[in-house]
């Protein structure tokens, strides 16, 4: 018997920093009739807000599926939102996990762990290039030092999760992709993120759900509320108690897995 042909497609937009390997959280949670597609966002050149849509068209061309579900994680929210808005005729659902909202929607930076990087990306592009070079040097010499520094103030759920070798390898792959392999693409996404891209939210007409942890310091919970308020049709907001950035992605993966089990039971 030949394997069942996928009838649905999940298109995953990774975080920044990050890589297509962030999708490993979802890989085992999807049923056989759902194809997971996770491009490396940094491979598509040009303005990220246009390049991500062009990449979506190229990657999904010829895919004979009835549904395309776009999932955006962290700053991947920006790419996912632009795709859902520009391709409203093809995207049937949008999920934003640990979503990073447009900074113009609220005073988020005082509660955001990455605030110094965002401020540099907005006002000091030359300094951003130097910052990325320094981080690249640290990562090449002592990757664990940089990884531990990024998560130094995280809570128990996040620490337990990133302590798993399978997860730490995904995080290191994301840092390598951003700092070593594609620093220009990484910088371009940071610069696009800190610009005002909030208008794109008004063009999203498919059903949207948001997953956000109460203890997320990289993307404070207020960001999810701001996105929900900015969407023309609202969204279903799932608040994960005590979860942070990646532990919310893990919680979303577990939710998908439970739904698959219950549907097949």
Consecutive 10-residue averages of pLDDT for the chain (265 residues): 70 97 91 91 95 97 92 98 97 97 96 93 94 95 90 86 93 97 97 97 97 96 98 94 95 82 36
How far apart are alpha carbons 51 and 41 in whole angstroms? 8
Closest to 98 measured CA to CA, from 203, 208, 220 = 220
Burial 32-67 (b: 16+ CB within 10 A, else e): eebbbbbbbbbebeeebbebbbebbeeebeeeebee
Tokens of 242: 């005590």
Residue spans of alpha helices (H) in 151-182: 156-162, 165-175
Please report, for the chain, the start and end positions of each structural domain, with discontinuous segments joined by +.
Answer: 8-264
User: What are 185-232's pLDDT values in tens digits?
Assistant: 999 999 999 999 999 999 999 999 999 999 999 999 999 999 999 999
Burial 161-197 (b: 16+ CB within 10 A, else e): bbeeeebbebbbbbbbbbbebbbebbbbbbbbbbeeb
Q: What is the CATH T-level fold of the domain 8-264, as seen in this structure?
A: Rossmann fold (3.40.50)
């Amino acid at each position: 018997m030949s394997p069942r042909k996928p009838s649905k497609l999940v298109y995953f937009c990774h975080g920044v920093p990050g890589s297509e390997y962030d999708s490993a959280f979802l890989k085992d949670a999807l049923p056989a009739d759902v194809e997971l597609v996770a491009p490396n966002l940094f491979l598509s050149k040009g303005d990220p807000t246009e390049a991500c849509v062009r990449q979506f068209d190229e990657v999904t061309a010829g895919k004979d599926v009835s549904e395309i579900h776009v999932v955006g994680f962290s700053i991947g929210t920006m790419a996912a939102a632009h795709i859902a808005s520009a391709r409203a005729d093809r995207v049937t659902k949008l999920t934003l996990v640990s979503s990073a909202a447009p900074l113009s929607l609220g005073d988020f930076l005082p509660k955001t762990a990455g605030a110094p990087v965002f401020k540099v990306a907005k006002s000091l592009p030359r300094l951003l290039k130097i910052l990325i070079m320094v981080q690249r040097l640290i990562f090449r010499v002592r990757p664990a030092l940089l990884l531990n520094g990024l998560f130094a103030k995280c809570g128990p759920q996040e620490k337990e999760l990133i302590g798993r070798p399978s997860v730490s390898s995904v995080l290191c792959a994301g840092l390598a992709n951003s700092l070593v392999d594609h620093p220009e693409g990484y910088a371009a996404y940071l610069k696009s993120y800190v610009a005002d891209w909030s208008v794109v939210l008004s063009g999203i007409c498919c059903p949207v759900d948001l997953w956000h942890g109460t203890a997320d310091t990289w993307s404070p919970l207020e960001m999810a509320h701001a996105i929900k308020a900015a969407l023309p049709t609202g969204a279903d907001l799932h608040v994960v108690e005590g979860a942070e950035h990646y532990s919310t992605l893990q919680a979303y993966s577990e939710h998908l897995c439970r739904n698959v089990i219950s549907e097949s039971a």
